[in-house]
Amino acid sequence: MVSGSSLTHWGAFTADVTDGEITSVRPMAGDADPSPLLGNLPGSLRHRSRVTGPAVRRGWLENGPGPTDLRGTEEFVAVSWDELTELLADELRRVVGAHGNEAIYGGSYGWASAGRFHHAQSQVHRFLNLLGGYSFSRHSYSLGATGVIMPRVVGTHDDLFKRSTDWNVIAEHTDLMVCFGGIALKNTGINHGGTTAHPTRDALRRLRDRGGQIVSISPLRDDVEGDCEWLAPRPGTDVAIMLALAHVLATESLADREFLDRYCTGYERFERYLLGVGDGVPKSPQWAADISGLRADDLIALARRMASSRTIVTVSWSLQRVRHGEQAPWMGLVLAAMLGQIGLAGGGFGHGYGSMNEPGLPPLRCRLPTLPQGMNPVRTFIPVAAVSDMLLHPGETFDFNGRRLTYPDIRLVYWAGGNPFHHHQNIPRLRRALARPETVVVHDPYWTAMAKHADIVVPSTTAFERDDYSGSRNDPLLVAMPALAAPHADSRDDYTTFAALAERLGFGEQFTEGRTAQQWLVHLYDKWSAELDFTVPSFDDFWAAGSLRLPTEDGLTLLADFRADPVDHRLGTPSGRIEIFSSDIDGFGYDDCAGHPTWYEPSEWLGGERAASYPLHLLANQPATRLHGQLDGGATSQHSKVQGREPIRMNPADAAARNLSDGDVVRVFNDRGACLAGVVVDEALRPHVVQLSTGAWYDPQDPTDPGAMCVHGNPNVLTADIGTSSLAKGCTGAHVLVEIEPFTDPLPPVRAHMPPHVVETGRHSD
């Protein structure tokens, strides 16, 4: 047995390793609230779901590239690395030569590894850029709506997170936190690039000890852990509630008119809507009560408390993963502006507290080492959640952020570092879309659903089978990540794969610049350290020490510099101020996104006609037992399963009405699809609301049928594949209406973590 230390997106740790497998883990010393997700690491390096070597779908190997609905159903044939490299290089040449680089879609997501060098997104984009470019995606499934709306109304997106109000400032100065979507501690275990401290729980304790109060507005009680005032509205009605609070501020002369005049633009236009001047519908507390199911008197009292206290208004990321998702963060910002506390210590606005372990953490005073990706000569892109639309409708035009764009005609999908069967809505539609390209290439350490739907599968190493280092822009440590084990079976790191491909395609020297992976680590570190205005140790000394503490900018309050001087620190909006009314957005003429925050009736909510057929509102939130779908086969994730299925939480009244009890397996369904799940009866949900987290690996009962029931519990077989609006086209997979019934047939086996049949042909390493 040997021991070693490393870093994940959910924490730093020391591991014991025996015979190439992690057998136990211990969190980094000093982490006050380590993530339970570390429990998924033991057993992960030699898990049965690992891809053991290069593999090609039999139909593609025998018949050549072309559209097919057999992806996800056929067996694979093992090939050597040299064979894979030749096949893949030839196919890339063919596609570029016949259709141009725009015909390649370079799909990736940045969560595959916390490493700075062995970062799948950076590696695949560097390779494809040198190939001549590729069609790409913008924004993320997590923040598709916010990434478009917030730069237009407050002039920034990233600064809302990396320069958010410090948790220490909130703990010391905030009197009242009004949290739309709560502050879910389960999500604060995670940060891109790794995280070595988890301060949220302690900050909330300190706030309460000082007399501060928390109001959680969420259908789920445990979206705030511990003492809080819980208001449980109908899901999807947060904007109506915010408008009602704003109505009280406006009509009772509690709005800070001086702040609105000096720091904002367009309030008068918005107030006409708020008071119902144009549509005859004042957005009053009673109006919002009828929509949300909350009491009008409670909303009035809350608005008055907010105006009389040092108040921060927070909006979780989940609220913008719905139809018209642009409205909630925009309206939350407007509500905070009306209170006039933006830029004051402990007051103002926050977006993403409880969504990830970045908001509230001090940012670094320096950047981090980064692998250059180069420039993409192709300018064609899609919003990231429009993958199925792109594949199904080549040449069709669509609206996005004030522009009229065209979906490219994609012939080859090259995916590295992600699994869209976790992120993407309406999996049956995604499966049909993936039948359209001529070739699908996937790099992955595991046989995820995306790998099973590939034509060419490239076995990648995990983050613990190669040397790397990493850190986050809001974490003080750069952490060494020495390999804990040798690469499993015949897997390789992506850099080695791309270097061989680049050599075969004639640009090997440009890709590698003559460096091995280890030489790149030293080069990137030395280049980075030479540009710093402070001294850091040599690479060898850093590696020997295991980590390096970097300076952070502590005590920040979001937009404090703007408040102090709105001229010298004008925002990056057309007016330089907070745009309560945006002339630009208004000028786009979209009927699903107006020039100011607006209440739009959701397509999936308990107040609509669809609820007559599907009377339960399912919240597909992030899981407490894994990061997205990563390591779903790990012990922590598996321990949460019910008879092998993903757990679905139900209010006791809803369970009793369907004769259901803890531990029952149920069929969750609507007119789009169905999945099995295991019942957990829980009073911590509003009645008629159920909760089924994303991330259970997709497992169709009949792999040949795109509409087949998922026997494991992936909620994205139920969700609608429609964008937030014409403005952002973000992901809307967080909310969906369903019905639930007992599943009385014999339980089908869960095969999600089983590899497909791979025919061995005497493959050998090259």
Could you give the residue numbers annotated as active site? 109, 111
Cβ-based neighbours of 549, under 8 Å, separated by 6 or more: 476, 477
Taking the C-alpha atoms of residue 37 and residue 477, their distance in angstroms, rounded to an integer, is 20
Strand pairing partners for 403?
400
Radius of gyration, CA atoms only, the chain: 26
Q: What are phi and psi of 423, to 5 degrees?
A: -80, -35
- Residue 657's nearest CA partner among 688, 611, 692, 686 is 688
To 10 degrees, the CA torsion angle through 719, 720, 726, 727?
A: 0
Residue 47 CA, distance from chain mean position: 25
Q: What are phi and psi of 690, to 5 degrees?
A: -125, 160
> Which residue's entry shows tokens 């199925």?
388
Q: How far lies 200's CA from each of 31, 158, 566, 637, in Å?
A: 12, 20, 31, 23
Taking the C-alpha atoms of residue 163 and residue 360, their distance in angstroms, rounded to an integer, is 8
Residue 226 CA, distance from chain mean position: 25
Local structure of 400: helix, strand or coil? strand
Side chain identity at 103, as an amino acid letter? Answer: A
> Which residue's entry shows tokens 């957990």?
680
Contact present, 625 and 640 (Cβ < 8 Å): yes
From its phi and psi, is residue 489 left (phi > 0), alpha (psi between -120 and 50) or beta?
A: left
Taking the C-alpha atoms of residue 423 and residue 617, their distance in angstroms, rounded to an integer, is 19
Helices (H), 28-132: 58-63, 81-99, 120-131
Name the E strands within 271-341: 311-315
3-state helix, strand, coil in the chain (%, to 5): 30, 20, 50
Contact present, 542 and 532 (Cβ < 8 Å): no
Cβ-based neighbours of 5, under 8 Å, separated by 6 or more: 12, 13, 14, 15, 28, 479, 480, 482, 546
